[in-house]
Amino acid sequence: MPQSITILLSAGRSIPPAEGDTESPVRTSISVLGSLTIVALAFGAGAMTAMSRGWGQAIAIVDIVNGSNKAVSMVTVQLDTCGYRGSVQ
């Protein structure tokens, strides 16, 4: 006796779960995997932005220009960062 199998295909619409089936393991794993993918992509984009803009660098480059005709005897650079405030002479 031949058996018939009905397969439902959906184009962009979700098929409601079978009666008594609240959440299938496949849907849960796809949801978790999708969420982790979004988090990983957001982290990567943030890291690339920070690297390209130089955020969080431990060094600084300061250009000091003497606009007068007098000799410079001392230079003081004042620092104000997120975790440190001070000056360098």
pLDDT digits (tens, 9 = 90+) for 10-48: 455 555 556 655 666 667 777 888 899 999 999 999 999
- 36 part of a folded domain: yes
| Residue 38, domain extent | 23-54
pLDDT of residue 65: 82
Strand pairing category for 85-88 and 77-80? antiparallel
- 7 part of a folded domain: no
- 35 part of a folded domain: yes
Express each pLDDT in 43-82 by its tens digit: 999 999 988 887 877 777 788 888 888 888 888 888 887 7
Nearest-angstrom CA–CA distance, 48 and 28: 30
- 48 part of a folded domain: yes
Nearest-angstrom CA–CA distance, 17 and 51: 46
Number of domains in the chain: 1
- 42 part of a folded domain: yes
- The answer to whether 89 and 83 have CB atoms below 8 angstroms apart is no
- 49 part of a folded domain: yes
Kindly write down the DSSP assignment for every residue of 11-49, as one continuous string: SSSPPPPPTT--S-HHHHHHHHHHHHHHHHHHHHHHHHH
- 80 part of a folded domain: no
- The answer to whether 84 and 74 have CB atoms below 8 angstroms apart is no
pTM of the model as a whole: 0.42
- 67 part of a folded domain: no
